[in-house]
Amino acid sequence: MTNDYPNGSPTDEDLVDPLAELPDVDSEIEAIIAERDAFRDKFMRALADAENARKRADKERREAEQYGGSRLARDLLPVHEALTRALDAANDEQRAAAAALIEGVELTLRELNNVFAKHGIHVIIPQVGERFDPQQHEAMFEAPVPGTVAGNIIQVMANGFMLHDRLLRAAKVGVSSSPAS
């Protein structure tokens, strides 16, 4: 067996502390913990982003189901109005002479109303004397009418329509201004 020490036995200088060669364990543990915390934070943020995206997609899907047909509904409003005007314009004599025709128009309007109701469309029917509501009514004119209250409806030109809780078309009305003195 050969001795690698020059004096035959190791001196204090020849002895190496085995722990001195090891890296700083505490700083490595702290670095690993910091990295773990950073990854956990990124994971939690990614999870929250995914959940928000899912909720947003779900909300958009529900809105598309409810309001996706709004263009078609707007296109059908003149049909509803034409049928209503046709029935309103028929006097008793015309109703007697063309009873089957009138009944057909009434049935068609009733079916259209059923389809509207099925899809969440309802008619806004303002009444003379009601308060003007800019959320549902469109003022076509304003006139001072004696015996009326300013801001009340004095004439209805066209009914409005709602799709669930959204306005499809405002009712067209005339509104009273302060009566002239």
Whichever domain contains 148, its CATH number is 2.30.22.10
Quick: pLDDT tens for 151-175.
Answer: 999 999 999 999 998 999 999 999 9
8 Å CB contact between 168 and 76: no
Tokens at 126, concatenated: 């303002």
Residues 156 and 181 in one domain: yes
Asked, for residue 3, whether it belongs to a domain, the answer is: no
| Three-state DSSP state, 9 | coil
Residues 160 and 174 in one domain: yes
Asked, for residue 157, whether it belongs to a domain, the answer is: yes
- The total number of structural domains in the chain stands at 3
Looking at residue 147, what DSSP letter applies? T
Q: Domain span at residue 172?
A: 120-181
Rounded mean pLDDT, 84-96:
91
Residues 93 and 136 in one domain: no
pLDDT (0 to 100) of residue 45: 96
Rounded mean pLDDT, 77-104:
92
The label of the residue with tokens 């890296």 reads: 23
* Percent of the chain with pLDDT strictly greater than 90: 68
What is the DSSP code string of 71-137?
Answer: HHHHHHHHHHHHHHHHHHH--HHHHHHTHHHHHHHHHHHHHHHHHHHHTTEEEE---TTSBP-TTTE
Quick: pLDDT tens for 3-40.
Answer: 666 666 666 666 666 655 666 788 889 999 999 999 99
Residues 127 and 177 in one domain: yes
Quick: pLDDT tens for 44-75.
Answer: 999 999 999 999 999 999 888 888 788 888 89
Confidence of residue 123 (pLDDT cuts 50, 70, 90): very high
| Three-state DSSP state, 14 | coil
